[in-house]
Structure 1
Amino acid sequence: MKERKLKLADLKQRAATETALLAVRLPGQTMKEIRDVARTLNIRMRALVLALLNEGLDAYESSPSAARNSRRRTSLR
């Protein structure tokens, strides 16, 4: 099955959805406080996304280490 590549618009929509869910869970908080919580929870994900965007997802996928990891994941199934 062909995997779908994430687009920047998809990532922005996901971030907006997660922030809205936090707003429901944290009633009485300001949007700034809610965004701070969202930012704290998503530091690792944001760092990964930025790294992939900066390096270029296609360059990452064509790298030898990505191919090696892909084979390793396939053999573990």
Structure 2
Amino acid sequence: MKITDVMTTQEASGLYGRTAHTIKQACESGRLTPEECRKSGKMWLVTRSGMERLYGAQSADGKKTAKKL
């Protein structure tokens, strides 16, 4: 895993089109597993693989590829 594969919920929000609050709730509810997210101090960190599993991958141009929920 590279450092670029881990991001804050705020960073993930901009990349995956979800609010930081929604991503935090996914961590707290177990939708993102303990291997995919963790709290560090007051900040939640999530993995790219967890975000892609839950919300879908991004295209090469940086725009989110929608995943049906």
TM over 0.5: no
Greater Rg by CA: 1
More helix by share: 1
Q: TM-score, normalised by structure 2?
A: 0.30
TM-score for both structures, normalised by structure 1: 0.29
